[in-house]
Amino acid sequence: MTNQPDSPVPQDSSEPSLEAFAAKLSESLGGEAYTMENASANTVEGGQINMKNSAARQVTASALHMENSAAALVKTQVADLRESSAVVVLGDTITLADGDTAIAVATELNTGNLGAGITAGGTINADKIGAGIVLAGRINGDVSTGLTWQIALAAGAGLGVVLLAGGRILKRLASTKSE
């Protein structure tokens, strides 16, 4: 098989692997490539980071692959999290599969069987996502949320009524005490 003239990724099996391509890309971005396996760290920073069965409090990377791993805060350009958990994931292109996150924010978010508290993205491509709140410019796929616009509208109206009634009650109490 030959490369297409404008193809940025090698297609021939005799050419460098995706990992080698990513390592070169990460080198050009000024970061180093790191692999963590069965380890934990407070902070992990690098160009390309591969984590397997590992944990970190904060991960900052140009490209990140996590498998069966956990992190509190992830900041990256491109991330691929498989069977992993993170509290907050921020990035340009994020793929989350078979995992959980409290907050995921990305320009493009690709999910497969994800449980999330808040999910936001320019475009969300979902195989299956269950989230409390989903904010997106465009959603493709199966998304179920706990908070729809109808529920938010009803909650806002209910809160308005409570505040209005509470204000009137407080006025009456204040006028009764001043007499």
pLDDT of residue 75: 95
Looking at the structure, tell me whether residues 86 and 165 fall in a common domain. Answer: no
Residues in contact with 18: Cβ distance below 8 Å, sequence separation at least 6, in sequence order: 9
Looking at the structure, tell me whether residues 26 and 99 fall in a common domain. Answer: yes
CB atoms closer than 10 angstroms to residue 39: 14
Residue in the block written with tokens 């308005």: 160
Looking at the structure, tell me whether residues 164 and 118 fall in a common domain. Answer: no
pLDDT of residue 5: 41
Give dist(CA 55, CA 38) in Å, integer: 8
Looking at the structure, tell me whether residues 166 and 86 fall in a common domain. Answer: no
Give dist(CA 129, CA 91) in Å, integer: 18
Task: State how many domains the chain has.
Answer: 2
Query: Do 47 and 31 form a contact (C-beta atoms < 8 A)?
Result: yes
pLDDT of residue 24: 64
| DSSP bridge pairs for 58 | 43, 73
Looking at the structure, tell me whether residues 36 and 108 fall in a common domain. Answer: yes
Contacts 24+ apart (CB under 8 A), 94-102: 94/121, 97/127
Domain that holds residue 154: 148-179
Looking at the structure, tell me whether residues 110 and 176 fall in a common domain. Answer: no
For each of the chain's 179 residues, which pLDDT tens digit applies? 333 444 344 444 455 566 666 666 656 555 678 899 999 999 999 889 999 999 999 999 999 999 999 999 999 999 999 999 999 999 999 998 888 888 889 999 888 877 787 888 888 888 877 777 788 888 888 777 776 667 777 878 888 888 888 888 888 777 776 66
Looking at the structure, tell me whether residues 129 and 178 fall in a common domain. Answer: no
Looking at the structure, tell me whether residues 110 and 30 fall in a common domain. Answer: yes
- Does the predicted TM-score (pTM) go above 0.95? no
pLDDT of residue 1: 38
Query: Do 56 and 41 form a contact (C-beta atoms < 8 A)?
Result: yes
